[in-house]
Structure 1
Amino acid sequence: MIKDMQRLSFRYWNKTGFVVLFFVLLSGCEDFIEEDLSDATIEILTPRDGLISSEVTQTFYWEPVEFALNYKVQIARPDFVFIDELVFDSTTSKNTLTVNFTPGLYTWRIKALNANSESPFYYRIFAIDSSGNLSGAQIVLSSPASNAYINQTDPVFSWEVLPGATQYSYKIYEGEFGNSNLATSEINGNATSLGLPISLSERSYEWGVRGENDQSNSPYSSRMLTVDITNPDVPNLTNPGNNIVTTNPTVVFSWSALGSGGAPEFDSLFISSDSTLSSLISSYESTSATFSDSLADGTYFWAVRRYDRAGNNSGLSEVRRITIQ
């Protein structure tokens, strides 16, 4: 009787245990399976289907699709059946992009993507019928990036070709655009980059470019830029002291605070098993001049180096030793 009950109990546990395990695994899979986009629709906002525009700069904008991670956008001339030119082919995580065009008929299509699925393509057509009027066009700037910090005094400025423009006007100002003009350069033809004949000093600038032809000019497109060529100060270590021996595995590392001038700064904490830091155990980035870590028993060496967003860095701090036992 007891053996029969044991067998029955074992069979019951096997069945119920399997069911419970099945549902646990099934619920766990939900964290890894992304939503299927095969039936997703994309609401295209601009440009509208069948648009005929004199503006050579077009902004493409659509409503975000739930569960989509990226969007595949392609633009062909005149269409995708008889392609004369694939004008644009890119994947973006944003729900907008700006492209410049020469006059002609175009078809564009877009689909939503995630790691496991994709939506159908959605198509629209439009035409650019430009008489050479650039007043509504927009220069697309390439580099330096918007609000960039750089450690070069002679950067190269670049932008994309603006169809219909026969030359470009470049300006850079100290501070905001329009204040104390520093340099101006007219560029003929299709050249879309410029190196300044002067060296920039450490400060903030705003630079801009517009397209020009005999009939009209585009507005200036502009970006802010900060030049910083000064290395950050070497961090001063404060805690723990050198050659400390402790039984507490949780160590709070701290050092001098970040500087407040120039490009934003951050620190890298290095923890190694040797004094030359060639056998790194871990490294951490910090903007608070402190970091807490839990270490196993052993001897460790640590140091900090300071960096800034312009690409400058300090020398390495002193290297300290700590033993956990």
Structure 2
Amino acid sequence: MKLKPAQLLFFLFALSMVFLSACKDFIEPNISKRPVTLKAPSDKYQSTSYNVNFWWDEVEDALYYRLQVVTPGFDTIGGLVEDTLIKSNRFTLTLDPGEYQWRVRAENGSSQTEFSTLNHLTIIPSSLAAQTVILSSPSNNTVTNQSSTVFKWGALFSATSYHLQLDTNNFADASHILIDLTIPGQQYTYKFPKDQNYQWRVRAESATEQSKWSAVNNIGFDATAPAAVILSSPQNNAVISKPVGLQWTKSATASNYKLYVYKADSTTLYSTAFPALLNTNTYSFAQGSSGERIYWQVSALDGAGNESALSALQSFVLQ
């Protein structure tokens, strides 16, 4: 069928878009000429809040951003406050009262933009009661299988100590809080007594004032491995044609599965693709040659990183 000129033009345009998209998957775009525009805080902004939310426009094809904050300015640097590489176009930082300048550039694996224009920021001294502590780690909704965890938070100007609370009932009963202590530093190591969900928060204190409580962060402790799975298909010693659909039972607490496929000696991994980390309980195996015996087994992993015992080792022969 002969295309009309308009149809041919549309076809060529669509083809060029597909080609450009395909090229982009293999050739990383150069972003060096793309500008970074700062959003907030605006230039010459003054704040009585010590927690500053930095924000800038995203740059297409950037993989991460470099944020730099100095005091009092880049022409007369008295101190480097922050020089960090982040994936997001937002970042929160706690600053002492003083004068600051900040800038951002976008980066990917092969290029980087120029730094943005400089924004000047002034943090004005204020009451500790108006401030809030920022929790650093572990991040909110972390699930861990490590019994010993270090809780960390940021410092607040004029604070002399920090009040840490840890609970399992979201601080509903002030008389039965799991951990309730005041320490001079900004971290505390705690060993979880059992598998459970925990909540923690911090406030800063001085001789005369105390800050607001921080946000409440959740952390789950789980040191119990998922139940082992049972291989269901193909049957052990089955003779079967490719591709072979491998299947096993689901484990109730598993979030992923680790599939081990071995050569005929039952111990050498079949290829560098194994063990394969999967989020389903099925896998299509298309390798191997006729008459070859293949062994396989599976383990289950939960969100905390606990791994179950390996399933029974089974084999099949390729038809």
Band of TM-score, shorter chain: 0.7 to 0.9
- Counterpart of 2:53 in structure 1 is 59
Alignment pair present for 1:252 and 2:245 = yes
Q: 1:266 pairs with 244, 247, 256, which one?
A: 256
Alignment pair present for 1:86 and 2:76 = no
- Calculate the TM-score normalised by the size of structure 2: 0.83
Query: Is the 2:132–2:211 contact (alpha carbons within 8 Å) kept by the matching residues of 1?
Result: no
- Counterpart of 1:208 in structure 2 is 201
The amino acid across from 1:271 in the alignment is V
- Counterpart of 1:113 in structure 2 is 107
Alignment of 1:157-168 (within 5 A): 157-168=151-162
- Counterpart of 1:75 in structure 2 is 69
Alignment of 1:160-239 (within 5 A): 160-178=154-172, 181-188=177-184, 191-196=185-190, 199-213=192-206, 214-239=208-233
In structure 1, distance between residues paired with 2:316 and 2:67: 55
Alignment pair present for 1:279 and 2:304 = no
Counting aligned pairs with the same residue, the percent is: 28
Count residues with an aligned counterpart: 293
In structure 2, distance between residues paired with 1:240 and 1:53: 66
Alignment pair present for 1:129 and 2:124 = yes
The amino acid across from 2:183 in the alignment is I
Higher alpha-carbon deviation: 297-306 or 134-143: 134-143
The alpha-carbon distance between structure 1 residues 203 and 165, as it changes in their structure 2 partners (threshold 3 A), is same
- Counterpart of 2:305 in structure 1 is 311
CA shift, 1:134, in A, is: 2.7
The alpha-carbon distance between structure 1 residues 80 and 152, as it changes in their structure 2 partners (threshold 3 A), is same
- Counterpart of 2:11 in structure 1 is none
The alpha-carbon distance between structure 1 residues 181 and 43, as it changes in their structure 2 partners (threshold 3 A), is same
In structure 2, distance between residues paired with 1:242 and 1:36: 53
- Counterpart of 2:7 in structure 1 is none
The alpha-carbon distance between structure 1 residues 169 and 139, as it changes in their structure 2 partners (threshold 3 A), is same
CA shift, 1:173, in A, is: 1.7
The amino acid across from 1:283 in the alignment is P
SS at match of 2:246: strand
In structure 2, distance between residues paired with 1:272 and 1:284: 12
Query: Is the 1:206–1:225 contact (alpha carbons within 8 Å) kept by the matching residues of 2?
Result: yes
Query: Is the 2:64–2:107 contact (alpha carbons within 8 Å) kept by the matching residues of 1?
Result: yes
Q: 1:296 pairs with 288, 291, 301, which one?
A: 288
CA shift, 1:178, in A, is: 3.4
Q: 1:100 pairs with 91, 94, 99, which one?
A: 94
In structure 2, distance between residues paired with 1:113 and 1:181: 45
CA shift, 1:33, in A, is: 4.0
CA root-mean-square deviation: 2.3
In structure 1, distance between residues paired with 2:198 and 2:31: 45
The amino acid across from 2:178 in the alignment is L
The amino acid across from 2:155 in the alignment is V
In structure 2, distance between residues paired with 1:177 and 1:199: 17
- Counterpart of 1:243 in structure 2 is 237
| Structure 2 runs not aligned, ≥5 long | 1-15
The alpha-carbon distance between structure 1 residues 44 and 283, as it changes in their structure 2 partners (threshold 3 A), is same
SS at match of 2:239: strand
Alignment pair present for 1:143 and 2:137 = yes
CA shift, 1:310, in A, is: 1.3
The alpha-carbon distance between structure 1 residues 138 and 63, as it changes in their structure 2 partners (threshold 3 A), is farther
The amino acid across from 2:267 in the alignment is L
Query: Is the 2:65–2:105 contact (alpha carbons within 8 Å) kept by the matching residues of 1?
Result: yes
Query: Is the 2:299–2:307 contact (alpha carbons within 8 Å) kept by the matching residues of 1?
Result: yes
Higher alpha-carbon deviation: 115-124 or 44-53: 115-124
The alpha-carbon distance between structure 1 residues 206 and 238, as it changes in their structure 2 partners (threshold 3 A), is same
- Counterpart of 1:19 in structure 2 is none
- Calculate the TM-score normalised by the size of structure 1: 0.82
| Structure 1 runs not aligned, ≥5 long | 1-22
SS at match of 2:114: coil
